[in-house]
A and B are shown apart, each in its own frame.
Chain A
Amino acid sequence: EDQVTQSPEALRLQEGESSSLNCSYTVSGLRGLFWYRQDPGKGPEFLFTLYSAGEEKEKERLKATLTKKESFLHITAPKPEDSATYLCAVQAGGTYKYIFGTGTRLKVLA
């Protein structure tokens, strides 16, 4: 069964304290792995798409990496405005279905 698991469920960081969020997945034929940021009361905001193991993408303080079993979202020197829920999703091969994890709630304290 296609499945996405994110950890930790919640994370509190001090401003400037770097950390990583994990997304492990089981999927039959990965078409893509996606990271989103979601603020309360809003729809998810697209961050990255990764397609193959070894791929990395960066945007400001965020860097996403991909292996055959998991993806990491590294946050370098986070700021309070990085506080949000970060969602990971995979698109399964053979279908066009997107499977989402339940997210990591990140709180960055000033």
Chain B
Amino acid sequence: KAGVTQTPRYLIKTRGQQVTLSCSPISGHRSVSWYQQTPGQGLQFLFEYFSETQRNKGNFPGRFSGRQFSNSRSEMNVSTLELGDSALYLCASTKTSFTGNEQFFGPGTRLTVL
């Protein structure tokens, strides 16, 4: 069974540019969450999408946005990039069953802002 895939794996951008990251969840998983991981802050929740609707949002500025398509694939967009946006961006898809939730993470997209 294929895992969560994220593209691209690496990105280098300059300040002021914008970037779009893509995530394909595990087949059958309808929930996709996005996280930012940095050495100083650890894993910070960005937002979660379920059936094309944003179900939850973390404490990030409006420059960070996302969306989910009908096939559950999700994209995350960051506009007007800042140096502090350099991080590993992780996507996770959630398997929901009667026993609860399990999150499965992709390999991440390493974003470097120069």
Contact = CB atoms under 8 A, between A and B. Distances in A.
Interface string A81-94: 00000010101000
A46 B100 contact: no
Q: How large is the interface on A (under 10, 10 to 19, 20 to 34, 35 or more residues)?
A: 20 to 34
Contacts of A87: 42-43
What's the dominant secondary structure at chain B's contact region? strand
Q: How large is the interface on B (under 10, 10 to 19, 20 to 34, 35 or more residues)?
A: 20 to 34
A95 B99 CA distance: 18
Contacts of B31: 96
Contacts of A103: 42
Interface string B1-31: 0001000000000000000000000000001
B49 to A, nearest CB: 11
A63 to B, nearest CB: 18
B66 interface: no
Contact of A100 (B4, B43, B55, B100): B43
Contacts of B103: 34, 46, 98
Contacts of B105: 36, 43-46
A42 B55 CA distance: 26
A54 to B, nearest CB: 16
B68 to A, nearest CB: 14
6 contacts: A46-B102, A46-B104, A96-B50, A96-B56, A98-B45, A100-B43
Interface of B: 4, 31, 33, 35, 42-45, 48, 50, 55-56, 58, 90, 92, 99-108
